[in-house]
Amino acid sequence: MVARRLGSKLLPRFTPAATLHSHATSFGFKEVNEEEKSQLVGNVFTKVASNYDIMNDLMSGGLHRLWKERLVSKLSPFPGMKHLDVAGGTGDVAFRILETINSVNRRAMEGTVEDDLREETQIYVCDINPNMLNVGKKRAQERGLGDLGSLVWVEGDAEKLTFKDDSMDGYTIAFGIRNVTHIEKVLAEAYRVLKKGGRFLCLELSHVDTPVFKQLYDYYSFSVIPVLGELVAGDRDSYQYLVESVRRFPPQEVFASMIADAGFQKVEYENLVGGVVAIHSGLKI
Amino acid sequence: MVRGSRVVEIISKTLSEMLVCPLSEQPLRVCEKSNSLISHAIGVSFPIVDGIPCLVPRDGEIVETDSDRTAADAKTDHKTAQE
């Protein structure tokens, strides 16, 4: 595990301000108007929604499941918590949180107070794309989580959340922040809705620096994934966007400084698989 | 399958505790008849589609409002929201 506090050695061309502007006007490697980006990304996710989970399994060799488990364990979910999972459309992270809270092992060790608390648990899944949410709702049914009332699905914008200030114990965003137009607005909103003591966690594809591995990863990303997208989902372009958007996203240290700029304390990140993904975390104190 | 009334129950509970209008950050009201959430402060309604409240700012629709709106005008809202 490689966790670090902020360093002061930021690469000159990757200053937060410059990065933010170029992020808002990039759609993968293409330049677009700020106003357009949201629409373009929306189109991608409307198209991929029905194949989203299969493609995740294929592209990551099933590893995305382990990454999400790691994310949830870092969250340390507790009964009665109010949690917000943003860009969580198909429900992967939300289900895991709920199942962790309700797990049999846990119940065996607890008493009746915790049972009541468990009913108070509320996991909000917020996504800007209704297709993704509908897939999530269906999966919740299949998994037996549909009727509990603990999962609340809301269509909303990560840049302008519909939740009250200081209302959430936890906030997660998994593989979502790369797709927003204004990263700083999302981070500011995350800070706003979290309670004092609340925790911010972000799981996202990130940057690999180690020499040989980087070449392999680049080859895999640009030569294999779009082809997989074509074969499995009949949609090469969406997956091309996906791999390009990963490269355009700020590197670990720069993103960490953006999180700190939003007001979070104890900002750290952990690289998984040599930096293919990173989990960034921060606390609202 | 989560029934309609249960959905409203969940949303009502959620509303009182957690949700506000994304634009004005003021409280929302559930309008069962029009199946929407109304933000009085700015006179906007947000739809509920398939049990999912759509609270993306651009989803809001302006509801016809009188210039001097008070809490007593809530009944008027019911009618205007239906139109």
For residues B24 and B3, give the distance between their C-alpha atoms in angstroms, rounded to a whole number. Answer: 30
Q: Would you list the DSSP string of A16-62?
A: HHHHHHHHHTEETTEE--HHHHHHHHHHHHHHHGGGHHHHHHHHHTT
- pLDDT tens by residue, A62-88: 999 999 999 999 999 988 899 999 999
Task: Please indicate whether residue A128 or residue A111 has the higher confidence score (pLDDT).
Answer: A128
Please name the residue of chain A whose CA is at the shortest distance from the CA of residue B2. A147
Give the CA distances from residue A77 to residues A53, A69, A149, A170, in Å, rounded to whole numbers and listed in that order.
Answer: 24, 12, 17, 8
- Rg, C-alpha atoms of chain A: 18
Q: Give the pLDDT of residue B71.
A: 43
CB atoms within 10 A of CB A278: 22
Can you list the positions of beta strands (E) in A175-264? 194-205
Q: How far is CA B7 from the centre of its chain?
A: 14
Q: Is the pLDDT of residue A7 over 80?
A: no
Give the CA distances from residue A168 to residues A93, A150, A177, in Å, rounded to whole numbers and listed in that order.
Answer: 16, 14, 19
Q: Is the pLDDT of residue A13 over 80?
A: no
- pLDDT tens by residue, B22-64: 999 998 888 888 888 999 889 999 998 888 899 999 888 998 6
The complex's ipTM?
A: 0.71
- Closest Cα in chain B, distance from residue A241 (Å): 24
Task: Tell me whether residue A121 is annotated as binding.
Answer: no
**Mean pLDDT for the stretch of residues B6-20:** 72
Question: Residue A47 is encoded by which pair of tokens?
Answer: 């198209």
- Rg, C-alpha atoms of chain B: 12
Please name the residue of chain B whose CA is at the shortest distance from the CA of residue A162. B22
- Closest Cα in chain B, distance from residue A253 (Å): 31
State the helix-helix crossing angle for A34-48 and A52-60, rounded to 10 degrees. 90
For residues A197 and A195, give the distance between their C-alpha atoms in angstroms, rounded to a whole number. Answer: 6
Instruction: Give the one of B11, B22, B25 whose C-beta lies nearest to A156's C-beta.
Output: B22
The b/e string for A116-152 (b: 16+ C-beta within 10 A; e otherwise) is eebeebbbbbbbbbbbbbbbbbebbeeeebeebbbbb
Please name the residue of chain B whose CA is at the shortest distance from the CA of residue A83. B18
Domains and CATH numbers, chain A: 27-109+119-284 (3.40.50.150)
Work out the angle at residue A87's Cα, subtended by the Cα atoms of residues A222 and A44, and round it to the nearest 5 degrees: 45
Q: Is the pLDDT of residue B7 over 90?
A: no
Chain A CB contacts of B6 below 8 Å: 149
Q: How far is CA A60 from the centre of its chain?
A: 15
Q: Could you tell me the pTM of the whole model?
A: 0.84
- C-alpha neighbours within 13 Å on the C-beta side of residue A79: 16
- pLDDT tens by residue, A246-278: 999 999 999 999 999 999 999 999 999 999 999
- Cα-Cα end-to-end distance for chain B: 29
Are the beta carbons of A164 and B22 separated by less than 8 Å? no
Q: Is the pLDDT of residue A3 over 60?
A: no
- Closest Cα in chain B, distance from residue A192 (Å): 11
Q: Give the pLDDT of residue A104.
A: 61
Chain B CB contacts of A154 below 8 Å: 19, 52-53, 55
- Cα-Cα end-to-end distance for chain A: 24
**Mean pLDDT for the stretch of residues A121-133:** 94
Are the beta carbons of B10 and A124 separated by less than 8 Å? no
Interface residue ranges in chain B relative to chain A, Cβ cutoff 8 Å = 1-2, 6, 10-11, 14, 17-23, 25, 49-57, 59
- CB within 8 A of A83, min separation 6: which ones? A75, A77, A94, A97, A122, A123, A124, A168, A169, A170, A171, A172
Q: Give the pLDDT of residue B65.
A: 55
Task: Tell me whether residue A260 is annotated as binding.
Answer: no
